[in-house]
Structure 1
Amino acid sequence: EGFEKRKPLYMLYHYLNHLNIFGNSYHKSVMNCVYQLLG
């Protein structure tokens, strides 16, 4: 219950990891998750 609401938080961890490893190609995905969590 509530998974869809928490999903951006779970995905953020992986996107931040990929951003750290692979660089700016994951920046947009990170920001989308952040906006979803704050919105």
Structure 2
Amino acid sequence: SLFGFNSGAALATVVGVLIEVPVMLLVVNIVNRSKGWYERA
């Protein structure tokens, strides 16, 4: 089936979301922590 778990597109979507969300949160966290550096510079 097109949207089955054997489908490469479905697998890529699930893996992409699982990887993308923590990475985005990590980037936002780093940017928020380093905001003071930009303001001091």
Higher helix share: 1
**Structure number, greater radius of gyration:** 2
Q: Same fold (TM over 0.5)?
A: no
| TM-score, with length taken from structure 2 | 0.39
Q: Answer 1 or 2: higher relative contact order, Cα 8 Å, separation at least 6.
A: 1
| TM-score, with length taken from structure 1 | 0.40
